[in-house]
């Protein structure tokens, strides 16, 4: 069984509740519907747009079996099938990945367009000839559109309220709620027609319709899931956009940092080159200084060697002086012995020739110096009468003096 809505009044049509569902360009779709002509040899528009001769499916019934489909850009193709116009027939248009459209009648392939029809479709009306209304009687069962394998539209007279007499009929849309409201239809309920089992084509169509009804709930659930998924994808896309913006900002910052790093590396290379030159200069300077230091050390060594030689000579001289001093000490011992003898012989007079002393015209000072704490001295001074004085330091507290008592004698004290 199939419920149909019949156009029996020339000015009647169905309007999609003020909204034009859009099938996007360059998308694959399937459009399927039940349709038949009820009278006349004219042509009638199954579905269309109010803006002109676009977004339409047009059937001829005036000696031609042609069916024309036109996208919203105006690209059209006329199919030439063979069918009985007054039979209820299932028509299906399929746009594939190549953007060409094929026609199927009662699930049998008929023809494929030889032109690309890739534009969008904007559906607004059933049964309306652009801005004019054709005086053609025709009936429409379900009309559905799947986009990319997902249900998009499903107008179902079977699910519509057929008992609303006194009001314009409304064909419900099961997926998005784009219900098609009647204009200028009869309100006595005669617009609805329930077709019993009939020809084979109708039986197959009704079987398919029953299958579609059974799939309806699943399709609605699937569509709800698709809507939720679309919302999630929209949210995810917004997140991706924000993330992309952040990534773009981050990439800009990284590029700026990379530029700074490159500049810094260039500066570091220049500094490294300068430091290398300075190190080479310092190395050369250190080498020169080391050479000078080595020469200076050599000079110091030569000077030390000379000082050692001088010290050795001084030590040799001191040894000689010590030997001289020892000799002098021996002589002093002899002199002391003599003086002791002179002291023991106080009665002995020593006669010295005065004539020899008179030759002295001036004082004669004879002094022998020896290093150390003992200094023997002999002083000869001219006096009137001449005196001869002999002094010898025997110790710190003892001085032995010899003073002449007469011009011809020297007394030992």
Query: Residue 355 falls within a domain, yes or no?
Result: yes
Burial class (CB in 10 A: 0-12, 13-18, 19+), 392: middle
Contact 146, 30 (CB under 8 A): yes
**Which residues neighbour 153 within 8 Å (Cβ) at sequence distance 6 or greater?**
21, 123, 143, 144, 145, 173, 175, 176, 178
Q: What is the pLDDT of residue 20?
A: 73
Query: Residue 311 falls within a domain, yes or no?
Result: no
**At which of 145, 169, 196 does a domain end?**
196
Number of domains in the chain: 2
Q: What is the pLDDT of residue 214?
A: 56
The strand order across the sheet containing 409-412 reads 350-351, 409-412, 399-406, 390-393
Q: What is the pLDDT of residue 212?
A: 47
**Which residues neighbour 141 within 8 Å (Cβ) at sequence distance 6 or greater?**
2, 3, 4, 33, 34, 35, 88, 157, 195, 205, 209
Q: What is the pLDDT of residue 316?
A: 81
Q: What is the pLDDT of residues 358-377, one digit of tens each?
A: 554 444 444 444 444 444 44
Query: Residue 325 falls within a domain, yes or no?
Result: no
Tokens representing 360 are 């002295």
Q: How far is residue 274's CA from residue 227's CA, in Å, rounded to a whole number?
A: 68
CATH number for 67: 2.60.120.200
Which residues does residue 89 pair with via DSSP β-bridges, in sequence order?
Answer: 35
Contact 33, 156 (CB under 8 A): no
Query: Residue 182 falls within a domain, yes or no?
Result: yes
Q: How far is residue 163's CA from residue 177's CA, in Å, rounded to a whole number?
A: 20
Domain that holds residue 350: 345-412
CB neighbours (10 Å) of residue 59? 23
Flag residues of the chain having pLDDT under 70.
18-19, 40-42, 129-135, 196-222, 342-413
DSSP run (H or E) holding 46: strand 43-48
Q: Cα angle vertex 215, ends 209, 220, to 5°?
A: 120
For 304, 355, 388, 401, 402, the CA distances from 352, given in Å and listed in that order, are 58, 9, 10, 16, 13
Tokens representing 128 are 């309306």
**At which of 181, 196, 211 does a domain end?**
196
CB neighbours (10 Å) of residue 400? 17
Q: φ, ψ for residue 70 (rounded to 5)?
A: -135, 130
Contact 100, 114 (CB under 8 A): yes
User: Is residue 158 classed as helix, strand or coil in its secondary structure?
Assistant: helix
Tokens representing 236 are 């995810």
Query: Residue 334 falls within a domain, yes or no?
Result: no
Query: Residue 212 falls within a domain, yes or no?
Result: no
Q: φ, ψ for residue 367 (rounded to 5)?
A: -135, 130
Q: What is the pLDDT of residue 217?
A: 59
Query: Residue 281 falls within a domain, yes or no?
Result: no
**At which of 180, 196, 212 does a domain end?**
196
Q: What is the pLDDT of residue 163?
A: 86
Q: What is the pLDDT of residues 73-130, one digit of tens each?
A: 999 999 999 888 888 999 999 999 999 999 999 999 999 999 999 999 998 888 876 5
- Own/partner contacts of 176-179, CB < 8 Å, gap of 24 or more, are 176/21, 176/152, 177/17, 178/16, 178/17, 178/19, 178/21, 178/153, 179/16, 179/17
User: Is residue 263 classed as helix, strand or coil in its secondary structure?
Assistant: helix
Q: What is the pTM of this model?
A: 0.49
Query: Residue 318 falls within a domain, yes or no?
Result: no
């Amino acid at each position: 069984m199939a419920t149909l809505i019949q156009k029996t009044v020339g000015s009647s049509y169905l309007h999609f509740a003020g909204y034009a569902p859009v099938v996007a360009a360059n998308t694959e779709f399937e459009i399927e519907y039940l349709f038949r002509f009820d009278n006349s040899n004219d042509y009638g528009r199954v579905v269309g747009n109010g803006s002109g001769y676009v977004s339409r499916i047009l059937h001829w019934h005036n000696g031609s079996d042609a069916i024309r489909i036109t996208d919203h850009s105006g690209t059209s193709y006329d199919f030439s099938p063979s069918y009985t116009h007054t039979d209820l027939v299932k028509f299906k248009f399929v746009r594939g990945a190549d953007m060409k459209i094929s026609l199927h009648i009662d699930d049998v392939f008929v023809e494929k367009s030889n032109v690309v029809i890739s534009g969008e479709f904007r559906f607004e009306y059933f049964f309306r000839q652009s801005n004019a209304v054709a005086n053609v009687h025709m009936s429409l069962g379900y009309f559905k559109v799947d986009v990319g394998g997902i249900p998009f539209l499903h107008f179902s007279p079977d699910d519509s309220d057929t008992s609303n007499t006194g009001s314009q009929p409304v064909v419900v849309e099961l997926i998005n709620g784009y219900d098609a409201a009647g204009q200028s239809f009869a309100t006595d309920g005669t617009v609805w027609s329930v077709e019993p089992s009939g020809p084979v084509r109708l039986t197959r169509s009704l079987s398919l319709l029953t299958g579609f009804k059974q799939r309806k709930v699943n399709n609605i659930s699937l569509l709800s899931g698709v809507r939720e998924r679309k919302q999630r994808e929209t949210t995810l896309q917004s997140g991706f956009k924000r993330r992309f913006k952040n990534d773009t900002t981050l990439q800009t910052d990284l590029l700026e940092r990379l530029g700074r790093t490159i500049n810094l590396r260039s500066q570091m290379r220049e500094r490294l080159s300068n430091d290398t030159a300075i190190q080479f200069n310092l190395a050369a300077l250190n080498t020169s200084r080391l050479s000078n230091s080595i020469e200076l050390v050599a000079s110091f060594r030569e000077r030390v060697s000379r000082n050692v030689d001088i010290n050795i000579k001084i030590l040799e001289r001191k040894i000689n002086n010590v030997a001289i001093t020892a000799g002098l000490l021996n002589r002093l011992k002899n002199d002391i012995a003599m003086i002791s003898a002179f002291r023991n012989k106080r009665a002995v007079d020593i006669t010295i020739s005065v004539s020899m002393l008179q030759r002295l015209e001036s004082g004669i000072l004879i002094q022998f110096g020896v290093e150390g704490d003992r200094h023997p001295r002999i002083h000869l001074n001219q006096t009137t009468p001449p005196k001869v004085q002999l002094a010898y330091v025997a110790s710190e507290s003892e001085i032995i003096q010899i003073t002449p008592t007469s011009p011809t004698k020297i007394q030992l004290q």
